[in-house]
Amino acid sequence: MAQVPQTFFDALAVRTWCGLALEALGRAREEIDAINVYPVADGDTGTNLYLTAESAAAAVEAVFTAYDESGKPSLADAARAMAHGALIGARGNSGTILAQLLRGMAQVLARDGEASHTDGTGLRLALRRAADSAREAVAHPVEGTVLSVASAAADAAEGNEGDCGAVARAAYEGARAALAATPGQLAVLERAGVVDAGGRGLVAVLGALVETFTGEMPRVVAASSVAHARVAAVSDTAAVDECADAPSEAGGPAFEVIYLLEAEDAAVARLRTRLDALGDSLVVVGGDGLWNVHVHVDDAGAAVEAGVEAGRPYRIRITHFGLGDVHTRGGERPPRERVQRAVVAVVPGEGLAGLYTEAGATTVLARPGEPPASGEIVEAVRRAHAREVVLLPNDADLRHTAAAAAEQARTEGIRVALIPTRSAVQGIAALAVHEPERRFDEDVVSMTSAAGATRYAEVAVAERQSWTLAGICEAGDVLGLIDGDVAVIGSDVTAAAETVLDRMLSAGGELVTLVLGDDAPESIADHLEARVREAYLAVDTVVYRGGRQGALLLIGVE
C-alpha cells in the first residue's frame, strides 16, 4: 500500500523515512552483500547498513512511544533520536558512514528546536551537511565510494528549488547517476564488475526518502549494467563465494575494530592521528562526547589501547577478516562446548513460548505491536549455544529482520538456516519433524517442507476502517485472514472462525492446529473441534493456549 505523502519534513516524516529505509535495505541486503568488494570483500555491507538503519528506526519509535499520551515529538526530537540510534548501532565501514550522514542531517533539522517542520530549503541544507560531515569523518576519502554518491545527491538537491518531494527526487536521481559512475572511479570495482556497495545502500535510503514525501516508490536501481548478471546470480553459492573471496587490496590489515567511545573532542583528535598511523579505512563519527570508531588494523590490541587512552571505549568488536572470528572486550574465558544443533523461534505469546521451549527450541517473544529487532534474535541464537541453528521467524513481516540476524550470526561462526515461516502454526509443524540427529541439510529440508505444507490463518478484530480483498471493514469487525489475506469479514468470532476453517479444509487436510489467544471466546475450541469431527472424517485437531498473542485465534491445516 502506498504511503501517505508528507508535505513537510516533520517528526512523522522522520519516522516514516526510517521505516521505509529499513524495508528498502532489507529488500536490497543480499544484493548489496554480494557486490561488496571495497574496502574489504567481506560480503557484509548490506547487512551492516540494515543493522544501522534498524537501530535508527528503533530509536525514533522509542521517542514516539514516549510521547503517546502527550502529543507528538518535535522534528528536533525525532532527528536527534534517528542520529543517536544510528550512531550507537552503526556496523562496519558503511554503517558508520551512514550514521554520520544521518547525524549531519540531524544537525540541520534540529537547528531550530522549536520548529515543527522544515521545507525543501531545509532538506537541501540537511543533505549538504550530511555529505560534508561524512567526508570529514573519513581519514582518507576515496572517490567512487558512498562519499561520492552522497556528494552527488547533495549537489543535485542544491539545484532544485521545489518542495521536499522534488528535492528528495533530485537527490535520488543524482545519487543514481553517481552510483553508476563508481566503477570508473575505483579500479577494484571495475575489475569486479560492480558498483560501490555502500553507495548502492545510500541510493536505497534516498529512494525511501522520495517515497516518504511522494508516496511513490522510485524504480529499483540495478547494481550496474556490468554487474547485473553477477547480482542476479546471488542465489548461486559459487558466485557469492567468488565475490566474497575476491581480494580488494593485497596485503590489507587483518582486523576490523569497532567501538563506541566516550571522550572529549581534543582526545578524539589525537586518537584519529594514532589510529591513522596504525591502519586504514579509519572513520570516526559522532560528537558531544559520544563517538563511534571504525578502523582496519593488523594490531587490534593497539587500536583498543588507543581508545582507552582517549576515553572509555565499550561495545568493542574485533573481526578477523580471514577467519570471520568475532571477539568482544573483557578477557572472557573460552566458551563452553557448543551443542551441535538448535532451533530458535520467534513466538507471539507466552503460551506458545512455553510450548516451543518444551519442544527444545530457544524462543524470542514478540509481544503484540512490539516485533523483535535483529539484535534480539542474534542474542537468542547465541543463547542456544549451538554450531548449527535453524531459525523460525514465524511472521512474514520479520523476514528481513531474521535474515539480517542470520547473517550476523554467521559472521560469528554459527551455521544458520532460515526457514521462512510466516505463522507460529507453520513453526509448530516444522518443529514437529525436527530431528537433530539427521544431517543439517536434510533436517532443514524436512522442516521447510512441513512448514510449506501448512496453510495458516488467523482471526482478529479490525482496529480501523480499511480496504481488504473481502471488501471494506470497519473498526471492531471480526476478520478472518487466510495465508495473510483477509478472506472473511463478520461480527461473530466463532462464526468467522468456522467459515475460515471450512474454506481451508475444502482443499483437504489431515491435522488442524488451533492456538487460542487470551481474548478468544471460551467455547470456540469445542465448537471448532466438533465441526471438524462432524464434517471432515479422518482429520485430527490439536488445541494450544497461546496467551497474549495479538490474534484471537491462529489456525493451521496440514
pLDDT of residue 371: 82
Q: How is the beta sheet containing 455-461 ordered, strand by strand? A: 485-490, 478-482, 455-461, 553-557, 511-517, 540-547
Rounded (10°) angle between helices 399-411 and 11-34: 50
pLDDT of residue 221: 55
Amino acid at 35: I
Whether the CB-CB separation of 189 and 196 falls below 8 Å is answered with yes
For range 62-77, the mean pLDDT: 81
DSSP β-ladder status, 339-347 and 386-392: parallel
Identify the H or E element spanning 460.
strand 455-461
- Would the pLDDT of 547 be above 60? yes
Per-residue model confidence as pLDDT tens digits over 117-175: 899 899 999 999 999 999 999 989 999 999 999 999 999 999 888 899 999 999 999 99
pLDDT of residue 41: 77
Query: Can the peptide bond before residue 39 be classed as cis, meaning omega within 30 degrees of 0?
Result: yes
- The three-class DSSP label of residue 129 is helix
Per-residue model confidence as pLDDT tens digits over 383-406: 888 999 999 999 988 888 888 888
- Would the pLDDT of 249 be above 60? no
Q: How far apart are CA 493 and CA 551, in angstroms?
A: 11
Q: Which of 54-63, 83-92, 312-321, 496-505 has the lowest mean pLDDT?
A: 312-321
pLDDT of residue 4: 53
User: What is the band of 290 on the pLDDT scale with cuts at 50, 70, 90?
Assistant: very high
For range 415-434, the mean pLDDT: 93
Q: Provide CB contacts within 8 A for 289, sequence distance 6+.
A: 262, 263, 264
Whether residues 324 and 345 fall in one domain: no
**Alpha-helical segments (H) within 412-484:** 424-432, 440-452
User: pTM (2 decimals)?
Assistant: 0.70
Residue 499, domain member (yes or no) = yes
pLDDT of residue 70: 61
Q: Which of 22-26, 222-226, 477-481 has the lowest mean pLDDT?
A: 222-226
pLDDT of residue 353: 85
CATH number reported for the structural domain that contains residue 86 in this entry: 1.25.40.340
Q: How far apart are CA 458 and CA 469, in angstroms?
A: 15
Count helices and strands in the chain by DSSP H and E runs: 20, 19
Whether residues 36 and 159 fall in one domain: yes
Residue 235, domain member (yes or no) = yes
DSSP β-ladder status, 511-517 and 540-547: parallel
Number of domains comprising the chain: 4
User: Residue 286: what are its φ and ψ, rounded to 5°?
Assistant: 125, -155
Per-residue model confidence as pLDDT tens digits over 181-223: 999 999 989 988 999 999 999 999 999 999 999 988 887 655 4
Whether residues 415 and 538 fall in one domain: no
Whether residues 77 and 126 fall in one domain: yes
Residue 29, domain member (yes or no) = yes
For range 8-24, the mean pLDDT: 93
For range 65-77, the mean pLDDT: 80
Whether the CB-CB separation of 322 and 254 falls below 8 Å is answered with yes
CATH number reported for the structural domain that contains residue 361 in this entry: 3.40.50.510
* Number of Cβ atoms within 10 Å of the Cβ of 5: 15
pLDDT of residue 317: 81
Q: Provide CB contacts within 8 A for 307, sequence distance 6+.
A: 259, 261, 271, 293, 313, 316
- Would the pLDDT of 1 be above 60? no
How far are the Cα atoms of 11, 421, 497 from residue 394, in angstroms, in the given order? 31, 5, 21
Burial class (CB in 10 A: 0-12, 13-18, 19+), 317: middle
Q: Which of 369-373, 470-474, 517-521 has the lowest mean pLDDT?
A: 369-373
User: What is the band of 408 on the pLDDT scale with cuts at 50, 70, 90?
Assistant: confident
Whether residues 439 and 464 fall in one domain: no
Q: What is the DSSP letter of 536?
A: S
Residue 249, domain member (yes or no) = no
Report the mean per-residue pLDDT for the chain: 85
Whether residues 207 and 309 fall in one domain: no
For range 419-433, the mean pLDDT: 93
Whether residues 110 and 15 fall in one domain: yes
Phi-psi category of 144—alpha, beta or left, where left has phi over 0 and alpha has psi -120 to 50? left
Whether residues 422 and 498 fall in one domain: no
Residue where a domain terminates, one of 397, 429, 452: 452
For range 464-473, the mean pLDDT: 87
Rounded (10°) angle between helices 11-34 and 45-66: 160
Residue 238, domain member (yes or no) = yes
Whether residues 234 and 262 fall in one domain: no
pLDDT of residue 272: 92
Residue 379, domain member (yes or no) = yes
Whether residues 115 and 211 fall in one domain: yes
Cell triple for 95: 554503517
pLDDT of residue 39: 81
pLDDT of residue 154: 96
For range 509-513, the mean pLDDT: 91
- Would the pLDDT of 79 be above 60? yes
pLDDT of residue 328: 43
Whether residues 396 and 465 fall in one domain: no
pLDDT of residue 233: 32
* More confident of the two residues 62 and 224: 62
Q: Which of 79-83, 119-123, 372-376, 528-532 has the lowest mean pLDDT?
A: 372-376
User: What is the band of 244 on the pLDDT scale with cuts at 50, 70, 90?
Assistant: very low
390, 392, 398, 404 alpha-carbon torsion, rounded to 10°: -10
Cell triple for 276: 591513522
Q: How far apart are CA 297 and CA 305, in angstroms?
A: 13
Whether residues 467 and 423 fall in one domain: no
Q: Provide CB contacts within 8 A for 197, sequence distance 6+.
A: 32, 33, 35, 36, 37, 38, 45, 46, 94
Phi-psi category of 281—alpha, beta or left, where left has phi over 0 and alpha has psi -120 to 50? left
Residue where a domain terminates, one of 189, 217, 242: 242
Q: What percent of the chain has pLDDT over 70?
A: 90
Domain that holds residue 468: 455-557
pLDDT of residue 332: 41
Q: Find where cell 528498502 sits.
A: 24
Residue where a domain terminates, one of 242, 267, 299: 242
CATH number reported for the structural domain that contains residue 478 in this entry: 3.30.1180.10
Residue 3, domain member (yes or no) = no
Identify the H or E element spanning 297.
strand 290-297
For range 66-87, the mean pLDDT: 86
Residue 1, domain member (yes or no) = no
